[in-house]
Amino acid sequence: MSDKELRRYSSVVVDGVEQAPSRAMLRAVGFTEEDFGKPQIGIASTWSMVTPCNMHIDGLADEAARGANAAGGKGVVFNTISVSDGISMGTPGMRYSLVSREIIADSIEAVAGAEGFDGVVAIGGCDKNMPGCVMALARLNRPSVFVYGGTIKPGAKRRDIVSVFEAVGARSGGTIDDEELLEVEQTAIPGPGACGGMYTANTMASAIEALGMSLANSSAQEAVSEQKMGDCHRAGEAVLNLIRKDIKPLDIMTREAFENAIAVVIALGGSTNAVLHLLGIAREAGVELTLDDFTRIGAKVPVLADVRPSGRYLMSELIEIGGIQPLMKRMLDHGLLHGDCLTVTGNTLAENLADVADYPDGQDIVRDFDKPIKPDSHLSILYGNLAPDGAVAKITGKEGLRFEGNARVYHSEEDALAAILEGMVVAGDVVVIRYEGPKGAPGMREMLSPTGAIMGKGLGKDVALITDGRFSGGSHGFVVGHVSPEAAVGGPIALIRDGDRIVIDAERKEINVDVSESEMAERRAGWKRPPSPVRTGVLAKYRNEVSSASEGAVTIPPAWD
């Protein structure tokens, strides 16, 4: 490949007499004469002091730039935003969380496109900035690597952020006092890194690695570690290799690669948000992926990892026994992964896994195939008269596989949480939280506060919760989210009334309300959409453009011929 071909995009910006003004600007930010002849590698950093998930990423971005420079490129670091789910959870600010995924994708695309980067390293460390990064890489389709910022170390007594949410419920239930709650609050988050269980950040890091867009074990390294710094350096080098081999994201993100990602998420017992994000990334990559693909793949892939929130172990403990690479090797050997998929190493998945050692004897974090936690997927796609376009349940079997109860309806997360904490929700209830969907919230808030309160009160097996919103990866219990169509567009969830009998059946993959069609039609005729809580700004834009959760809640406009 010629020098000009290696600099396919940057040469337009810096070559020739007419680009002297561009070069003058770049000299001011540290470019030397030699740098103008090197491929430019944009390092998209999600660093900020907004959240512990991302507070260390500035150092990781600098290391990725050093890796790019060492391999013959010119690394250029730039930033994009990040918001914190853990901080905004349960507040109106959580409306911005999913919206930030689109803002991040837009901003990385804008900077890389404007600056003429020949390749990109994107570093994300929290739930929405990770899929946002990969969505941008798919749009740009320039040689790219995604780096996960890494998981947090465990807090005292193996605590994490979910421990705090559940402690709030325990305090309300009277099983702990204010002093004990404060002690949990003060010790759960010891420093940098993403939430420590198989919540959305670690789930998406694993999915992106299985997709082929990260280097081996990028998903299974602590945020503050030599391994993570090495991962960043190698990522910078890897992009130069991809440029020389002309391997781009859309060469990697094939339909088979998405099937690999789904399979790994299931084996790990990962977050329901993976459904939303993989649908969104696939849409950006031009790959046809639907809710039914999760059902199809889930029928043959067991849950094998005993990790939080439903299991016992933290991500750091999975890291200690080898991370997800040995699991992927086992899955490949069992015919559950497509080994011929290309990855950012320049090799296939099978080639990457060829020399991976198995887990050590005696570990019980990852089960054998003959002793799975669940023989099929914990992610159940449910349909029925309550969710004609589908809903996503996270049911490991520990909660049971069927729940029947009476609806207790709330028009917001805040109202539902107050009722749970005040003891108004009792065994046998199905808590219905509506007008929290992509358009209704707007922004599709996560319901970790209500689910945490339910678990903390000891009602995890006795109360179900359904919503047109979504769940944190830390949520567990008998929960169903992404109910589509959502209430704000007149979906059936908008028509439920207190006392209606609701049946959730994970084995039959159904969710129904015991109300006749004629009664539902009568209710629909009298339904009026409540006023939206926003009128201007980015939330209003999002509300007007966003698609259904069943399509990934993306904001891609229709084609303009």
Q: Which residues are catalytic?
A: 472
**Distant-in-sequence, close-in-space partners of 30: CB < 8 Å, separation ≥ 6:** none
- For every residue of 422-463, DSSP letters joined together read TT---TTEEEEE-S-STTTTTS--B-HHHHHHHHHTT-TTT-
CA angle 109, 51, 410 (to 5 degrees): 90
Helix (H, G, I), strand (E, B) or coil at 155: coil
DSSP state of 344: T
479 neighbors 351 (Cβ within 8 angstroms): no
388 neighbors 394 (Cβ within 8 angstroms): no
CA angle 10, 14, 17 (to 5 degrees): 150
Tokens of residue 315, six digits? 């991500």
Token pair 């690999």: residue: 260
Q: How far is residue 202's CA from residue 100's CA, in Å, rounded to a whole number?
A: 18
At 113, the amino acid letter reads G
Q: How far is residue 378's CA from residue 397's CA, in Å, rounded to a whole number?
A: 8
Cα 314 to Cα 88, 233, 248: the distances in Å are 23, 26, 34
Q: Distance of alpha carbon 70 from its chain centroid, rounded? A: 32
Contacts by residues 540-543 (CB-CB < 8 Å, ≥ 24 positions apart): 540/442, 542/99, 542/102, 542/438, 542/442, 542/443, 543/438, 543/439, 543/442
